[in-house]
Amino acid sequence: MTLRDYVWTRRISRAALELRDTDQRVLDIAVKYGFSSQEAFTRAFTKAFQLSPAAYQKAPRPIPLAIRLECSRLIII
């Protein structure tokens, strides 16, 4: 996977989480994640997940996300 593809996958995955977890408009999320328009975001989202962002926001289902797990542990020595 190229660096460009990795960044694109991470960006579209983060946008998917926002669609799932917030009531923000698709346009607002598209702009937040650097897409030039809602149409460009819809094309990218559909290419990545085979459904539109609006459909996913209305009825979220499991999709493959490229999200690194954040883990924080306090280790006392």
CA dist 18 and 22 (Å) reads 6
Helix then strand count (H, E) for the chain reads 4, 0
Predicted confidence (pLDDT) at residue 73 exceeds the cutoff of 70: no
Could you tell me if 53 and 45 are in contact, meaning their C-beta atoms sit under 8 angstroms apart? yes
Residue with more model confidence, 26 or 77: 26
Domain locations in the chain as residue ranges: 3-58
* CATH 1.10.10.60 is the classification of domain 3-58: yes
What is the DSSP secondary structure assignment for residue 70, as one 8-state letter? P
pLDDT tens-digit profile of 14-61?
999 999 999 999 999 999 999 999 999 999 999 999 999 999 999 988
Model confidence at 63, pLDDT cuts 50, 70, 90, reads: confident
Residue 52 in tokens:
């539109």
Closest listed residue to residue 15, CA positions, set 36, 32, 39: 32
